[in-house]
């Protein structure tokens, strides 16, 4: 997945993703559905930008986990009072429960199958307090992404320029994003390639998967950035 771009991740995504606004939306949501919420586990936390902002701007106690050790290292640097661990989001066990578990920016799609998603949901549920809330931002459902679609994004600093060119491939219920990077720094250029695979699940399928995992969920159409949002609680 992010084998080549971990150190470039914030530069690339900050060029179009408004983390400050998203943290504000998450805080507003949590304040509505669970006003007593103070502790958060950010699953598939990436470089910890959401975690940092939720702690810094809103006073939450935020921990996180990610499968990528480079992301975890960066997240620890950004938010040193949080506890960040390297772990699989479908198979982790922490010695703590949280008022909220977040899984944002379509990370759930990387599990690729509904069976794996159910395992993750069950794991999330185990780490929720009895009145806790789970917030999941999905990947796109089938029929939205276009096979062969090409994209291009450029981000730069005074000493670094990154061009990321993407191609989307669709095979049955799997989307494959192929990214080609051109990285220019200190007068030198290098190239790198990454392939990301994400499962394509319908709203109905995900709602059924929440139910199978012992959770009651509702779906919001827009969410943080137009991909929708699921808000769930442990079934009484």
The domain segmentation of the chain, as residue ranges, is 16-140+201-234
Whether the predicted pLDDT of 4 surpasses 70: no
Percent of the chain with pLDDT over 90: 91
Write out pLDDT tens, residues 112-158. Answer: 999 999 999 999 999 999 999 999 999 999 999 999 999 999 999 89
Cβ burial 139-163 (10 Å sphere, 16+ → b, else e)? bbbeeebeeeeeeeeebeeeeeebb
Residue count (the chain): 236
CATH for the 16-140+201-234 domain, from 1.10.3720.10, 3.40.50.150, 2.20.25.90, 3.40.190.10: 3.40.50.150
Structural element, H or E, at residue 202: none
**The model scores a pTM over 0.85:** yes
């Amino acid at each position: 997945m992010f084998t080549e771009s971990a150190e470039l991740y914030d530069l690339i995504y900050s060029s179009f993703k408004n983390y400050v606004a998203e943290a504000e939306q998450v805080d507003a949501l949590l304040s509505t559905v669970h006003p007593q919420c103070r502790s958060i586990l950010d699953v598939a936390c990436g470089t910890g930008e959401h975690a940092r902002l939720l702690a810094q701007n809103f006073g939450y106690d935020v921990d996180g986990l990610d499968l990528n050790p480079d992301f975890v290292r960066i997240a620890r640097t950004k938010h040193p009072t949080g506890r960040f661990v390297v772990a699989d989001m479908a198979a982790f066990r922490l010695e703590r429960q949280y008022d909220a578990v977040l899984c944002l920016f379509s990370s759930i799609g990387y599990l690729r199958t509904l069976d794996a998603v159910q395992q993750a949901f069950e794991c999330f549920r185990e780490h929720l307090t009895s009145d806790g809330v789970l917030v999941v931002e999905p990947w796109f459902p089938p029929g939205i992404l276009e096979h062969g679609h090409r994209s291009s994004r450029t981000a730069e600093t005074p000493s670094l320029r990154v061009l990321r060119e993407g191609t989307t491939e669709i095979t049955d219920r799997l989307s494959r994003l192929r990214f080609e990077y051109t990285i220019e720094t200190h007068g030198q250029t290098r190239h790198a390639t990454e392939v990301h695979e994400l499962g394509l699940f319908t709203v109905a399928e995900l709602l059924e998967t929440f139910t199978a995992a012992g959770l009651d969920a509702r779906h919001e159409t827009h969410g943080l950035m137009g991909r929708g949002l699921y808000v769930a609680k442990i079934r009484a």
